[in-house]
Amino acid sequence: MLTMRLTIRHLFIILLVLGLFILTLYPIVDPDFWWHLRTGQFIIQSHSVPHMDPFSYNNSGKPWIAQEWLSEVIMYGLYILGGYGMLILVFSLIIIGAFLISYLRCPQNSRPYVAGFTLLLGAFATWPTWGVRPQMISLLFTSLYIFLLDRYQASFNPKYVIPLPLIMLVWVNLHAGYLLGLVVICIFFGGSLIELLTSRLQNIYRPSKLAFKPILILSGSFGASVLATLANPNGYHILVYPFQSLSSQATQQFIQEWLSPDFHQLIWQPLAWFILAIIAAGMLGKKSFSPTKILLTLVFGYAALRSMRYVPLFIIATIPILAEQIGLFMPNNFEKKPTSWIMKWISPIVVVGYLLVAGLLFISTVQRQPKAEAAAFPEAAVDWISINQPEGNIFNSYAWGGYIIWRLYPKYKVYIDGRAFDVYGDDLLFSFMNVYRAFPGWEQTLDSHNVRLVLVEPGSGISRALINSFNWNILYEDHISIVFGKK
């Protein structure tokens, strides 16, 4: 039966999904993954969401808005259920789901080929930001929000906006990116309002109450979604958190994913091509964009150019826009003739072959996880500390804080980790960077925190300063990390 029904279109879609799956397969090396995992364990074992920081010694007891608590519980549950392989698989499906929802928004005349290749270009443009991260959940929900609002704007059927507040009830407990859902509603509200005002000016008529009904429904959906955000362990504080995070100068300055994409790097070239394709398609296209699509492109485009962490949001928002414009002047009917009997037999073989390749790559990725972990994090140094248990507070590299929390907590607490704004704030981040770079006053800062151990990269400024200091000894050293102890 498979040989009779599997057409070229079906084969293309299957290979497209498998191609996305293969792109998502790489070991977990995100520095924040480890403290997410430990937090999930902490919540499950204590049966409560932490409101104060348990993991660092210099901020112990400081208020902590654990805005990703439910994601962390799920991540730890998946880890217990199936280890790193289960986490890689589930987050791969989350990423694929976000892109397939974007694909379903593409016009029918562009599917599957134009939309498919546009989606692949978008996938390559966002690949550097993928991983086992709660941000991927926000990517999925943002894609779903845009999909439902697209359907509503096309049909004005309220059934498409009713789920939005219900989704928000879950989203607000998974990631602070819930704010994106509210932003998307505002974009569709603004687009609808612009269309209504433009229509009034062009046709010179006074809109009836019925014309305002879709806008009122969007307003109601926005209000209900805002109320839904209050259903979280942190209460109204979660509404303020995203804005405080965005206003953090240290976060914007020191944390890589908050920086703008560097188009001099090869990995960001697909994003440049995607942006240029949108510009070219807009100039050559035969159809003008709606106000909503223009707002989606401008808002998410600005966010992507400002910070690489927003690149996936821009891509999933604009894949259908680019596919629609390309589909207007590029033929999409490659199957005028019936599928030949040869292809009917070859297609299943190709699918099975790709499934085997995808399965083998998945197994290989899971098997490479220990090696990737040892290459990206101070595994051997942490093993040495765990065995020898030297006394004292640790000053650690920012990128390794989460790994130390996972491996050494509660015996050791960290100086800093990836919860940059969540716990530490700008003052401590700037102070950390001054010590890490061995700027004047670094010794006094370490003394003020009673630091007796330092675990950093061998080439860092602080490691060079400690090597030349009479007050510190090298306790352990390898090509990845170096451990100093105070005399």
Q: Tell me the DSSP string of 97-158.
A: HHHHHHHHTS-GGGTTHHHHHHHHHHHHHHGGG-SSSTHHHHHHHHHHHHHHHHHHHHH--G
Residues 77-97: what's their mean pLDDT?
98
468 within domain boundaries: yes
Domain total in the chain:
2
Q: Report the mean per-residue pLDDT for the chain.
A: 91
Where do the H-state alpha helices sit in 285-424? 291-306, 311-329, 341-376, 379-388, 401-408
The whole-angstrom separation of Cα 351 and Cα 159 is 37
Question: Does one domain contain both 325 and 383?
Answer: no
Secondary structure of residue 339 in the 3-state scheme: coil
**310-363 pLDDT, tens digit each:** 999 999 999 999 999 988 877 666 555 555 656 667 878 888 999 999 999 999
Question: What does the chain come to in residues?
Answer: 487
On whether residue 288 sits in a domain, the answer given is: yes
> Which of 309, 329, 349 is the C-terminal boundary of a domain?
329
**Residue where one domain finishes, among candidates 329, 360, 387:** 329
Mean pLDDT of 284-295: 85
Instruction: Tell me, yes or no, whether 7 lies in a domain.
Output: no
Residues 300 and 394 in one domain: no
Per-residue confidence (pLDDT) for residue 7, from 0 to 100: 79
Residues 378-426: tens digit of each pLDDT: 999 999 999 999 999 999 999 999 999 999 999 999 999 999 877 888 8
Residues 208 and 306 in one domain: yes
- Say if residues 49 and 43 touch (Cβ distance below 8 Å): yes
**DSSP letter string over 236-261?**
THHHHHHHHHHT-HHHHHH-GGGSPP
pLDDT for res 58: 86
> In this structure, what are the phi and psi dihedrals at residue 200, rounded to the nearest 5 degrees?
-65, -40
Residue 66, domain member (yes or no): no
Confidence (pLDDT) at 14: 93
Tell me: do 308 and 440 sit in the same domain. Answer: no
**Domain ends where: 310, 329, 348?**
329
Are residues 299 and 420 both part of a single domain? no
Instruction: Judge whether 78 lies within some domain.
Output: no
323 and 384 together in one domain:
no
Is the pLDDT at 44 greater than 50, yes or no?
A: yes
* Predicted local distance difference test score (pLDDT) of residue 339: 57
Rounded to two decimals, the pTM is 0.93
Measured from the Cβ of residue 264, the count of other Cβ atoms closer than 10 Å reads 7
The larger pLDDT score, comparing residue 242 to residue 24, is at 24
User: Within a domain: residue 73?
Assistant: no
- pLDDT band for 254, please (50, 70, 90 cuts): confident
Domain, as residue range, for 165: 135-329
In this prediction, residue 211 carries a pLDDT of 66
Q: What gap in Å lies between CA 98 and CA 19, rounded to an integer? A: 15
What residue has token string 């704010």? 179
The answer to the question of residue 117 being in a domain is no
Same domain, yes or no, for 206 and 314? yes
Q: What per-residue confidence (pLDDT) applies to 2?
A: 43
Question: For strand 482-486 and strand 393-396, is the pairing parallel, antiparallel, or unpaired?
Answer: unpaired
**178/253 Cα distance (integer angstroms):** 24
468: pLDDT strictly greater than 60: yes
For residue 149, is it within any domain? yes
- Same domain, residue pair 154 and 257: yes
